[in-house]
Amino acid sequence: MGSFNSLSQDLIDAWLQSDETTGVDDLYAGILSRLTIKMALSVITTSADDPYDWRFRRVKDFGFKSGLLNEMKKQFPDAALRDLDRRFIDDAIIASYSRALESKRPAIDVVRTKLLGVRIGYERLILPQKVEGKPGWCLSLIEGRFFISRMLEAKTDITDDNIIQLLIEGQSTKEIAELLNLSPRTIEHRLDRLKDRFEARNLTHLVAKIVATQVDRHSHDAKAAAS
């Protein structure tokens, strides 16, 4: 297994050594077996003039288990971009990939957006086909940072969602502050607000209540869908 930074560097090195005859499968062959469960690999075919006619294809999906993720995969199949979630496509795909096609250079960014109503965040490497003319495809490596559905009892913003996800993953207040480039005092203040909203006595109780809230939501949604 490898870190996002090391795998990105290996992909960029392979891209630098590639030419017009290099297929996208050849580009990622060396790193495919090293992806962690938080990483995913996909290809977007970009030969069409209209970006909505570009086609999305999964190479390897996230390895972790999640009911929300499974539902999103069903709603976000391999397909033309025009047939997928338009808000996500407009917000997170077309502009970024268009810039990579124009520059014809690798690009790394951090994405915070919504997909099918779920707040998601991830780091992403985009590698356009190395050609003289317009690249016919882009390879994308991503590592998920958070994956949070809307809370039933508390309204949260993107920063709160990041904190919740990292808290669930076992990160300390100091580690969360470093990962989000915020001060520990800011993290503590936000955690205190979350504890008040969820009426939690401590951080352990807060995590338990958050998990229970998510379970209740999924149960409610499943019953509503079945009725």
Amino acid found at 161: D
Tell me the CATH number of domain 4-148, given options 3.30.1550.10, 3.90.650.10, 3.40.50.300, 3.30.450.20: 3.30.450.20
The structure tokens 């882009």 sit at: 138
Q: Is 158-226 assigned to CATH 3.20.20.150?
A: no
Share of the chain above pLDDT 90, in %: 55
223: pLDDT strictly greater than 70? no
| Per-residue pLDDT at 60 | 95
User: Is the pLDDT higher at 212 or at 126?
Assistant: 126
pLDDT at 47 over 70: yes
Burial class (CB in 10 A: 0-12, 13-18, 19+), 115: buried
More confident residue, 218 or 173: 173
pLDDT band at 137 (very low <50, low <70, confident <90, very high): very high
Between 7 and 218, residue with greater pLDDT? 7
d(C-alpha 20, C-alpha 133), whole Å: 10
Secondary element (H or E) of residue 69: helix 67-75
Q: Give the orientation angle of helix 158-168 with respect to helix 203-226, to 10 degrees.
A: 110
Residue-wise pLDDT tens digits, 57-88: 999 998 876 666 777 788 889 999 999 999 99
Q: Which residues contact 87 (CB under 8 A, 6 or more apart)?
A: 114
Mean pLDDT of 143-151: 67
Give me the pLDDT at residue 219, please.
41
pLDDT score at 226:
44
- Distance of CA 51 to CAs 4, 31, 43, 46, 89, Å? 27, 28, 14, 7, 10
Tokens, residue 204: 């352990």
Give the model confidence (pLDDT) of 149-186 as tens digits: 554 344 567 788 778 878 877 889 999 999 888 999 99
Q: What is the per-residue pLDDT across 206-216, written as a single tens digit (0 to 9) for each?
A: 888 777 655 44
Check whether 217 has a pLDDT greater than 50.
Answer: no
Q: Where in the chain is the domain with CATH 1.10.10.10?
A: 158-226
User: In terms of pTM, does the model score above 0.75?
Assistant: no
Asked if residue 200 has pLDDT above 60, the reply is yes
Give span(s): CATH 3.30.450.20, the chain: 4-148
> What pLDDT digit, counting tens, does each position of 88-123 carry?
999 999 999 999 999 999 999 999 888 877 778 899
